[in-house]
Structures are given as structure tokens and as C-alpha cells.
């Protein structure tokens, strides 16, 4: 057994180093996966907010168009009275 250890110790050390590297790599991948999940949630929230803002903007546009029509009618009535 001692001869085997003496003969193959460089390979054993390399194998242990490789296993340690794989463990660190797995931890890094898990950490990046969590970051990606968080970014996806944030992206979904930003998309939802953008859609909500687009709806609000469309409503504001409709309201402004209605106000313009009302003002145009008022101006028209006032011009008729003055004439």
C-alpha cells in the first residue's frame, strides 16, 4: 500500500485538487443561478411596470383628447355668442 501511495502520489494530489476545483465550480454555478433568477424576476417586474405605464399613458392621451374636444366646443360656442 505504501508503494502505491509513493508511486501515485502526484496523481492523487491532482485528483484531490480537481475534486476541490469541481466543488468550487459547482458553488459558483449555484450562485450565478441565483443571480440569474433574481435578474429574471426584476426583468419581469420592469416589463410589468412598462406595460402599466403604457396603459396609463394611453388613458391620459384619451383624456387629453376629450379635454381638447370639450375646449374646442367651448371656444366655438363663445365665438358664436360674440358674433
Query: What kind and span of H or E run contains 42?
Result: helix 2-82
Tell me which of 5-19, 23-37, 40-54, 63-77 is least confident: 5-19
Nine-digit cell at 33?
443561478
Question: What are the tens digits of pLDDT across the range 42-76?
Answer: 999 999 999 999 999 999 999 999 999 999 999 99
Q: Please state, in angstroms and rounded to a whole number, the distance separating the CA atoms of residues 71 and 77.
A: 10
Non-local (6+) Cβ contacts of 5 within 8 A are: 12
Cβ pair 26, 33 in contact under 8 A = no
Nine-digit cell at 66?
376629450
Cβ pair 5, 12 in contact under 8 A = yes
Amino acid at each position: 500500500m505504501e508503494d502505491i501511495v509513493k508511486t501515485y502520489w502526484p496523481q492523487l494530489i491532482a485528483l484531490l485538487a480537481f475534486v476541490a476545483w469541481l466543488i468550487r465550480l459547482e458553488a459558483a454555478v449555484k450562485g450565478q443561478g441565483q443571480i440569474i433568477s433574481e435578474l429574471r424576476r426584476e426583468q419581469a417586474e420592469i416589463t410589468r411596470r412598462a406595460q402599466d405605464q403604457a396603459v396609463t399613458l394611453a388613458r391620459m392621451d384619451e383624456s387629453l383628447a376629450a379635454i381638447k374636444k370639450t375646449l374646442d366646443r367651448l371656444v366655438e360656442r363663445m365665438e358664436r355668442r360674440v358674433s
